[in-house]
A and B are shown apart, each in its own frame.
Chain A
Amino acid sequence: MDTATAQAPAITGTKHVKFRIWRQEGPDGQGHFDEFRVPYRPGANVISCLMEIQRNPVTIDGKQVAPIIWDAACLEEVCGSCAMNINGRVRMACSALIDKVIGEGEAIITLEPMKKFPVTRDLAVDRSRMFEALKRVKGWIPVDGTHNLGPGPRQSPKEQSTMYVLSTCITCGSCVEACPQVTLENNFIGAAAISQARLFNMNPTGRMNSEERVRGIMGPGGIQDCGKAQNCVKVCPKEIPLTTSIAVMNREVTKQVVKDIFFSMGDDNQSTGGPG
């Protein structure tokens, strides 16, 4: 038995779901919509419908087309691949159950790629800027090496639970997509990377290099570009407290700026352990 099936409310009178899907060849290609009709199955999600189209890539007008290109891997909202705009809202396609997406309304689902990233093809986009931002904030613990040096520092369960939530970021790009400050052309690092800087600055070892990360989110494209629209926190599929992270890191940046005013650069590294 399909347990997912058993739970799904039946949609009366609907035998098919209509999809309008954006087609585009490459970042500079002209785009258009193709329309498909997919048999409705209880428990189906956007991914299972895209898979159905793969097996029969024929549009509503009866035209044989290439199947859709989209990014996906785990299908359980932990790899971060399948973020796209579904009926105008950015979300993960795997957890987008058809019943929830179409609700009570007409059974039409529009799929578009995220717009803040260059299109690779169709619904697939290039999210390199997300990973570049992680480099900029030095999102790692600089361990001495992978040889056995015994356990790490002790941490309280309370600290762990705060850090754990931050560390569940799947780099899907939803926060960047929803952010009004981000454009295809600019280089604002976005909420995800800022929140990662906070995570590593909380870690007892990571703290030793906190100044590096604070400086990483300063300057052009940095945290000061945040317009406090708070869209990021609303669309985060993992419900990470992104605006709290931004507020915390804003305070860190302010402290750093004040410090920089009072002490000439490079003289005072005592409180942070210095740039590592």
Chain B
Amino acid sequence: MAAAARFTVVGGGLAGLMTTIKLAEAGHQVDILSLVPVKRSHSVCAQGGINGAVNTKGEGDHPDIHVKDTLRGGDFLAEQVSVKGMCYAAPGIIYLLDRMGVTFNRTPEGLLDFRRFGGTLHHRTAFAGATTGQQLLYALDEQVRRWEAEGRVTKYEYWEWLGMVKDGSGRCIGSAAMDLRTNEIRTLPAEAVCLATGGPGIVFGRSTNSIINTGTAAGRAFMEGALYANGEFIQVHPTSIPGEDKLRLMSESVRGEGGRVWVPKTKGDTRPPQAIPESERWYFLEERYPKYKNLVPRDVATREIFQVCREMGMGLGGQDAVYLDVTHIPAKTLDAKLKGVMEIYEKFVGDDPRNVPMKIFPGMHYSMGGLYVNFERGPNDEPLAGSPVNQSTNIPGLYAAGEADYAYHGANRLGANSLLSCIYGGMIGGPAMVAFAKNQAKSAADADNQKYFAEAKKFWEERFSGIKAMQGKENPFQLAKELGDVMTENCTVVRYNDRLKKAVERIREFKDRWKNVNALDTSTVANRHISYVNQLWNMFELAEVIAKSALLRDECRGAHYKPDFKLPEPKSKDPREDAEWMEKWRERNEKWAKLSIAKHNPEGPDISYEDLPTPVLEPEPRWYA
């Protein structure tokens, strides 16, 4: 490898930008491919904060407790070595962001302020108002702009990653990409490629995700041989505002700052919320979870809200909605700590949440599953520093980081751990790519490899001229909407095997109907519709992985909930005191505490299961009551 080698990072969110910074800082050249200017990547949407056990509140918080909360929160399906590394690195990452100028909220003494979040009893979340993701993304965007100004980074904005270029041995030696403004197709050689392409929210139609989050890159990499793990674990955020075009997130930090979830005690109570006295309100989360109250993990809160609305019919006006109430919190506090989300509610709903309780309902939010990646276990059971294995997929030379990888969140992600996992993934992924490149006998840009790049370019040019010629009856956007409806209906909060089976069949039908699509646009200028038609297929691929993985996992774990396979309630408050129940739990855990691994097959994904080493923490029953 040359002293200054060339790498490609796909995606300009937190994971991609941190990977880029690490590569540039080490003296290398980086090409960043991004569908949008990197400053507009989906990380901007993160609101609540970033976790790190800095322990500035004298609560005795420690990275070990952060590790334990994260692994329990993920119902023991997260990759433990990477989680431990992440939690131990977290305070340093927050300090780094502070040094980069993130406008974190401060204590009166001028220190970083921390707030409560779900799934922990500690003040562990650093925050910048309620637009923390935006502030973090901007900090990294600024650092990357600095490297860009120095010529170390080249941005390919409005460029779409199409697929890998592999050499004869199967090593990823670069990418094929398309300029969305000119539709030019180009190949980019790279010593290693990192997919930091985010999650697949748009596979569910409406979600809290940005509309660029189709999961297309992960879907294509999967088709090209990358393994996809834990696809069935989809986080549905408890509090979002349903809208025609998207579900807008109401941050968990609203509850972290004291927001309370309730419905009227009397079914069908039509009084305005302010007219309902305290004694006639049912704070169901506080009642059922006296210790964590409104800050139970997201999967738990979501199921409770779902049950209250769908099973008990106690939703507001009999509909899918409950109150999220901050009217008891002084407006000044709300403005200092939650202004961003208060404004979103005001702008998109029209009510001022400072005076009127918000109406919210769960919405699809995050994929815990993603591209399968590896880590090399080092001393202290953290990823070995500088190992080429960290964040590597099963394809040599292909890395993944951020929501696109499966590793850090198991069966359910804790709030404010995603910004952290994105940045940590980039911090260890960048150096891993360099280490990989150093071990290669031949550079990706070697003259011998030219034929592979030429083949890839030809393949994609033909593929898109084929798509452009498609003049069938199916409108691709309509097809995507139908896919979203099927996924939201069957693959979110409550899952049943008969319905999942039908969902898989429906997805197979969509794939057939895709062949009869109309590309709608024959223009040679900024034709984004041909790009969309191609993406749509990749969305079907991921949808099928998600639905089939959900179908095959017959248990309840984290966000994956099947009433037909639920263990009975334990007889004691602490389940560990019920020996009979513990036996059932052990048996269940023995069978299912495994990663689901999807491998591409044109006939539908092959799903297998892989044991998950637990060097950091032995699994235990997860309960929050």
Give A residues with C-beta under 8 Å from B.
Answer: 1-4, 6-8, 25-26, 29, 41, 43-45, 47-48, 51, 54-57, 66-67, 69, 71-81, 94-95, 97, 120-121, 124, 126-127, 131, 134-135, 138-143, 145-146, 148-152, 154-157, 160-161, 163-164, 167-168, 170-171, 200, 203, 205-206
In the bound complex, CA of A186 to CA of B526 (Å): 25
Q: Is the CB of A6 within 8 A of B40?
A: no
State in angstroms the CA–CA spacing of A2 and B111 once bound together.
41
CB-based nearest B residue for A203: B101
Contact B142 A141 (CB under 8 A): yes
User: Could you tell me which residues of chain B, from 568 to 621, have a CB within 8 Å of some CB in chain A?
Assistant: none
Chain B stretch 325-378: residues in CB contact (< 8 A) with chain A: 336, 340, 344, 347-351, 358-361
In whole Å, how far is A12's beta carbon from the nearest beta carbon of chain B?
18
Bound CA span A164–B321, Å: 33
Q: Is the CB of A164 within 8 A of B348?
A: no
Could you list 26 A-B pairs, sorted by A, with CB under 8 Å?
A1-B242, A1-B321, A1-B359, A3-B321, A4-B244, A26-B525, A51-B245, A66-B523, A67-B477, A67-B520, A69-B526, A76-B45, A76-B344, A77-B344, A79-B210, A81-B36, A94-B245, A95-B347, A95-B348, A120-B158, A141-B100, A148-B92, A149-B96, A151-B95, A157-B106, A171-B40
In the assembled complex, the CB of B244 is this many whole angstroms from the nearest CB of chain A, namely: 4
Return A125 CB to nearest CB of chain B, in Å: 11
Task: Specify the chain B residue showing the minimal Cβ separation from A79.
Answer: B40
Tell me, in angstroms, the Cα distance from A8 to B45 when the chains sit together.
25
Provide the residues of chain A in CB contact with B358, threshold 8 Å.
Answer: 3
By a CB distance below 8 angstroms, the chain A residues around B267 are none
Q: Which chain B residue shows the least CB distance to A145?
A: B25
From A238, which residue of chain B is reached at the shortest CB distance? Answer: B343
Pair A47/B245 contact, Cβ less than 8 Å: yes
Instruction: Specify which chain A residues have a CB less than 8 angstroms from the CB of B25 in the assembled complex.
Output: 145-146
Chain B residues, CB < 8 A from A145: 25
Contacts of B109 in A (CB 8 A): 154
Given A45-B245, A154-B111, A160-B103 in contact, is the A140-B142 Cβ separation under 8 Å?
yes
User: Could you tell me if B145 and A139 are in contact, using CB atoms closer than 8 angstroms?
Assistant: yes
Contact of B146 among A25, A26, A140, A152 (CB under 8 A): A140
Chain B residues within an 8 Å CB radius of A170? 44, 134
- Inter-subunit contact B44/A135 (CB<8 Å): no
- Give A78 to B246 CA distance when docked, in angstroms: 14
> A57 — nearest CB in chain B belongs to which residue?
B520
Contact of A76 among B128, B129, B348 (CB under 8 A): B348
B36's partner among A51, A71, A134, A135 (CB-CB below 8 A) is A71
Check B489 for interface membership: any CB of A closer than 8 A. Answer: no
| 4 closest A-B pairs by CB | A1-B319, A154-B110, A140-B142, A148-B92
In the assembly, what is the distance between CA of A171 and CA of B37, in Å? 10
Q: Given A142-B146, A163-B103, are A1 and B315 neighbors across the interface (CB < 8 Å)? A: yes
Shortest Cβ distance from B316 into chain A, in angstroms? 7
Interface residues of B in 132-182 (CB under 8 A from A): 134-135, 138, 142-143, 145-146, 148-149, 158, 181
- Contact (Cβ within 8 A) A143 B361: no
Task: Answer whether A152 and B39 are a contact pair too, CB < 8 Å, given A3-B242, A167-B135.
Answer: no
Chain B residue numbers with a CB within 8 Å of A95 are 347-348
Least Cβ–Cβ distance between B478 and chain A, in angstroms: 5
CA distance A69 to B145 in the complex (A): 27
* A148: chain B residues within 8 A (beta carbon): 92, 95-96
* Complex Cα spacing A150 to B321, Å: 44
Secondary structure at chain B's binding surface: helix, strand, loop or mixed? mixed
Provide the main secondary structure of the chain A interface: loop
A3 touches B529 (CB 8 A): no
Residue contact A43 to B104, C-beta cutoff 8 Å = no
Closest to A142 in B: B146
Contact A131 B321 (CB under 8 A): no
Specify which chain A residues have a CB less than 8 angstroms from the CB of B242 in the assembled complex: 1-4
Given contacts A55-B477, A55-B478, contact A135 B149 (CB under 8 A): yes
Identify which of residues 454-494 in chain B touch chain A, using a CB-to-CB cut-off of 8 Å: 475, 477-478, 481
Pick from A47, A66, A205: contact of B520, CB below 8 A: A66
Q: Are B525 and A146 in contact (CB under 8 A)?
A: no
Q: How far is the CA of A45 from the CA of B111 in the complex (A)?
A: 41
Given contacts A55-B478, A141-B101, contact A3 B359 (CB under 8 A): yes
Complex CA distance for A157 and B360, rounded to whole angstroms: 31
Are A4 and B349 touching (Cβ within 8 A)? yes
- A73-B212, A80-B40 known; A1 vs B148 contact (CB < 8 Å): no
**14 further interface pairs, Cβ-Cβ under 8 Å (given A51-B477, A66-B523, A200-B101):** A1-B317, A4-B348, A57-B520, A67-B521, A73-B40, A74-B44, A95-B347, A138-B149, A140-B146, A141-B101, A146-B18, A148-B92, A152-B99, A206-B101
Q: Is the CB of A75 within 8 A of B210?
A: yes
Give every chain A residue within 8 A of B65 (Cβ-Cβ): none
A8 to B347, CA, bound (A): 12
Beta-carbon nearest neighbor of A144 in chain B: B99
Bound Cα distance from A143 to B143, whole angstroms: 8
> Which residues of chain B have C-beta atoms less than 8 A from A72's C-beta?
211
Report B37-80 CB contacts with A as 1/0, cut-off 8 Å. Answer: 10111101100000000000000000000000000000000000
B5: Cβ under 8 A from any A Cβ? no
Q: Is B21 an interface residue (CB 8 A)?
A: yes
State whether the Cβ of B443 lies closer than 8 Å to any Cβ in chain A.
no
Tell me if B347 and A77 are in contact (CB < 8 A).
Answer: yes
A47, A97, A205: which contacts B99 (Cβ < 8 A)? A205
A71 CB contacts on chain B under 8 angstroms: 36
Q: In the complex, are the beta carbons of B526 and A143 less than 8 A apart?
A: no
Residues in B neighbouring A167, C-beta threshold 8 A: 103, 128, 135, 138
In the complex, whether B511 has a CB less than 8 A from a CB of chain A is: no
Residue numbers in A under 8 Å from B22 (CB-CB): 146
Chain B, Cβ-Cβ closest to A200: B101
Interfacial chain A residues near B145, Cβ < 8 Å: 131, 134-135, 139-140
Most buried by B among A8, A41, A131: A131
Please name all residues of chain B whose beta carbon is closer than 8 Å to the beta carbon of A141 when the two chains form the complex: 99-101, 142
A147 to B591, CA, bound (A): 42
